[in-house]
Amino acid sequence: MPRKKKKSPDAVPLAVIKRLPLYHRYLTMLAQNDVERISSRELAAKMGITASQLRQDLSWFGSFGQQGYGYRVKDLLGEVSKILGLDRQFQMIILGAGNLARALVSYPNFRRRGFYVEAIFDSNPDLIGKQVNGVTIKDVKYLSEYLQQHTVDIGIITAPASVAQKLADTLVAGGVKAIWNFAPIHLKVPRDVVVENVQIGESLLTLSFRLQQQERRKS
């Protein structure tokens, strides 16, 4: 493949961004199975896209692989990891100490990939001071103070919708530039703050709608 100039990473389309974690997942599996090299055709087939789509996606970030040889799995995995920011550490805090926080803190893949939960905050006096998987639950009234003293890359909001905006405001005021939001509301943040939403309730409603459609189609 001829060397091409990298396109501006600012303009990477959302669809490409959303596929990057998939590349990472499949390349990790291949590396774990000691596969040394793979053609763009084979890798694309695994992901349910075309080889030309795959080459186009990767061309946003540079030139990888060689015509007639394909990709070295380990090298490409390393590049994709770097693109995703997995060659560094992210300090995270969780706001809201419910079951979802427990699930996130216990997720083994996060720590392995460099995502560290440093603290959990809650307002419930029964929870403050307790530990979840080695992480202490702190009083949310000290959140601003904590943000002054610690670098926090990602704030995770698992608290109820009613307090989510207020928590987001506190994170933003404390200099946090990325929010992972599980509360079912649209957060208002400045343009330089990145928000990624996981809308669990809405995903279930999408499923129930599609199930209904499927049943109607049959009847």
Q: At what angle do helices 14-32 and 73-83 cross, to 10 degrees?
A: 140
Is 213 a binder of a second copy (CB under 8 A)?
Answer: yes
Is 78 a binder of a second copy (CB under 8 A)?
Answer: no
Q: How far is CA 188 from the centre of its chain?
A: 19
Is 207 a binder of a second copy (CB under 8 A)?
Answer: yes
Question: Phi-psi category of 154—alpha, beta or left, where left has phi over 0 and alpha has psi -120 to 50?
Answer: beta
Is 37 a binder of a second copy (CB under 8 A)?
Answer: no
Is 214 a binder of a second copy (CB under 8 A)?
Answer: yes
Cβ-based neighbours of 34, under 8 Å, separated by 6 or more: none
**How many CA atoms lie within 13 Å of 6's alpha carbon, on the beta-carbon side?**
9
Is 48 a binder of a second copy (CB under 8 A)?
Answer: yes
Shortest Å, Cβ 201 to a second copy: 6
Is 173 a binder of a second copy (CB under 8 A)?
Answer: no
| C-alpha distance from residue 120 to each of 53, 126, 170, 190 (Å) | 41, 14, 15, 24
- Residues forming beta bridges with residue 120, ordered by sequence position: 94, 137
Is 109 a binder of a second copy (CB under 8 A)?
Answer: yes
How many positions of this chain bind a second copy (CB under 8 A)?
A: 59
Residues that bind a second copy (CB under 8 A): 9-10, 12, 17-18, 20-22, 24-25, 48, 83-86, 90, 98-100, 102-104, 106-107, 109-110, 113, 115, 153-154, 177-178, 180, 184, 186, 192, 194, 196, 198-218
